[in-house]
Structure 1
């Protein structure tokens, strides 16, 4: 009789679980209780908004962006952009990035 060549597959071993990659553009929270966005600052002056952001969040740099200005698209966890209108008031909700 011909020998049958049976290959047995070993039982699947438990693979160590790796964290899933974080999608691009999504800040990681890492149990951080600091804010990531400030919608309540819309309508305030840039100086007032910058002061409130720096009171609530540590280690961020605030950049004021005048109307019709170009900005780069990279994501930075240490930056908050303040988009202001012609009157110098915050035009949209500032956020980390």
Structure 2
């Protein structure tokens, strides 16, 4: 991903899998202020396109992060 988004800063947060989605968003935006983190629930529709200023935070039905959040 860093080759597509040079100079973006931190691009991946594997340590957030299993954490509450809202907490993950706060951590991501604190560690990389150049991105907006967005929680995606199982019922949400989203555009699966590459955006260097976006991190999708996929959560389960309980609001827990289930995939590694990455820039894109």
Structure 1 and Structure 2 fold alike (TM over 0.5): yes
Q: Which 5+ residue runs of structure 2 have no aligned equivalent?
A: none
Normalized per residue, which structure has more helix?
2
* Gap runs ≥5 in structure 1: 1-25
TM-score by length of structure 1 reads 0.65
List, as ranges, runs of 4+ consecutive aligned residues in structure 1 with deviation greater than 2 Å. 26-29
TM-aligned CA distance change 1:34 to 1:88, over 3 Å: same
Relative contact order, higher structure (CA 8 A, sep 6+): 2
- TM-score (norm. length: structure 2): 0.85
CA-atom RMSD in angstroms = 1.6
Q: Count how many residue pairs are aligned between Structure 1 and Structure 2.
A: 70
Q: Which has the larger radius of gyration?
A: 1
